Amino acid sequence: MSRTPERWFPPEEFYCDALCTRCGVCCGATDGHPCEHLRRDADGRHFCAIYADRFGPHRTVDGQRFECVSIRRVIEWTGGYAGCGYVREIRRLRRTMGQDDSDLGRRPTP
């Protein structure tokens, strides 16, 4: 019996803030339902007003409930957005290792 190989994802420490482009897409900045804690700085880059305590139940600005999870989980579940800095780096690493990356970046940045 043949089993589909597991897709490689980096360990938790890979997901450092330095790779984040602060586009806000993973927090709803472009889908019309942003998190109630999503803010913009003077340069127009997004940030979370409660970053240290962000995980868990929250609401969008229009009152929809959702569960904030790590970017690692978002990417592993959905493949992430094509323009995401984490997704771009995971794709690069997988290609270097000779692995398939077709499950990544399937969601275009709106």
CA distance 94 to 84: 15
Q: Which residue has the higher pLDDT, 35 or 108?
A: 35
Find the mean pLDDT for residues 15-27.
92
Task: State the pLDDT at residue 7.
Answer: 84
**Span between the terminal Cα atoms of the chain, in Å:** 40
| pLDDT tens per residue across span 70-105 | 999 999 999 999 889 999 999 999 999 999 999 999
Instruction: Return all residues near 46 (Cβ < 8 A) that are at least 6 apart.
Output: 22, 23, 24, 27, 29, 38, 39, 40
DSSP H or E run through 76 = helix 71-78
What's the whole-number average pLDDT of the chain? 91
Q: What's the full length of the chain, in residues?
A: 110
- SS3 (DSSP) at 22: coil
